[in-house]
Amino acid sequence: MNLETLQREMATAIMQPLTANEDMRSLAPDGRSMRVIAESFIAPNSQLDSFERLEIYNRQYWFRVLSALIEDFPALRAVIGGGRFDAISVAYLTAHPSRSFTLRNLGSKLPEWLAANPALAGRRHRLAVDVARIEWAFVESFDNAECTPLTPDQVATLDGDSHIALQPHLQLMALDYPADDLVLSLHDRQKREASEAGHRHDEVQPAPVKLPKLRRKPIWLASHRVDLRVYYRRLEQEEFQTLSALRSGLPLGEALEAGFAASKVPTAKRPPKLGQWFGSWAELGWLCPPSLDSLIDK
């Protein structure tokens, strides 16, 4: 067995989901005996056989990745309950195992995966998807880069042919529920209740929290970073559509047309709105010069 084969064999073994009792499975996904596999590259010692030594790594991998998802999605866990969250986490990580050197990227596909697997989240599925999207946007807004923004004077010189980039940390979301306040309140609650010991796998799994009355109502939300803190800001639908069009690479004139497509806002009232939006975007530093690559692509 060469080094690459050994590494792949061990990675496959330790990334295999645990049993319900948090033990390593007796059979590999291809039906081979895990004991035979373990003995092929791990020597026993005076206290543990090859299977037991490999099982330690199998457990520690899953304990760590499950804890990482709990850290990134505490509101989602509160909404659907600890037991259901753990089941979703195992199913998600089985479909999308860690492929990055950093755990930061572990939950990157969870919102879209959760949207495609409605049965796992129960009756709160649509709300759960919105909560997951808001929480992942927090990660993106906190970590993503910050570019030098356009100055107010530069913004004043823009015309219909201008191309504008948005800050990489700015995240735009169209949601089915006004779940932003709920996520913030659940995060505050989680911070108050968190112990210094952190999450333990043998703790009693929390039930879903009793939610305030939350009726389905579409909202448009932005998350962004200011001085290493993440903030959420609700947008008007036309504002959201305009920003989304700018992010897609449309020139300013076409982005404005896309923003007000099918809008009920009277034409006479649009210029004041645009002035207010651009003033706010410039103040928050959301607007940036386009990259050279994006201009070449056009």
Digit-coded pLDDT (tens) for 192-246: 776 544 554 545 667 777 887 888 999 999 999 999 999 999 999 999 999 999 9
| 40 & 138 share domain | no
pLDDT of 163: 95
Mark whether 245 and 286 lie in a shared domain: yes
Q: At what angle do helices 3-14 and 34-41 cross, to 10 degrees?
A: 140
* Confidence at residue 207, expressed as pLDDT on a 0 to 100 scale: 72
| Whether 155 and 239 share a structural domain | yes
Question: Is 130 within the bounds of a domain?
Answer: yes
Query: What is the per-residue pLDDT for 202?
Result: 47
**pLDDT tens per residue across span 22-74:** 999 999 989 999 999 999 999 999 999 999 999 999 999 999 999 999 999 99
Our count of domains for the chain comes to 3
* 119 lies in the same domain as 154: no
* Domain boundary residue, one of 41, 72, 103: 72
Looking at residue 197, its pLDDT comes to: 47
> Alpha carbon 291 to chain centroid distance?
25
pLDDT given for residue 196 in this prediction: 44
Band of pLDDT at residue 87, cut at 50, 70 and 90: very high
Q: Which structural domain, as residue segments, surrounds residue 167?
A: 147-176+235-298
Residue that finishes a domain, picked among 57, 72, 87:
72
pLDDT tens by residue, 101-154: 999 999 999 999 999 999 989 889 999 999 999 999 999 999 999 999 999 899
Predicted local confidence at residue 1, as pLDDT: 75
CA dist., res. 123 & res. 212, Å (int): 16
Task: Scan for tokens 């596999």, then name that residue.
Answer: 37
Contact 38, 75 (CB under 8 A): no
Indicate if 131 and 187 belong to the same structural domain. yes
Instruction: Give the helix, strand, coil percentages of the chain, each rounded to 5.
Output: 55, 10, 35
Residue 273 neighbours by CB distance under 10 Å: 17
Which pLDDT band holds residue 21 (cuts at 50, 70, 90)? very high
Instruction: For residue 52, tell me if it sits in a domain.
Output: yes
pLDDT tens-digit series, residues 266-278:
999 999 999 999 9
Give the predicted TM-score (pTM) of the model. Answer: 0.88
Q: Which two tokens stand for residue 44?
A: 């026993």
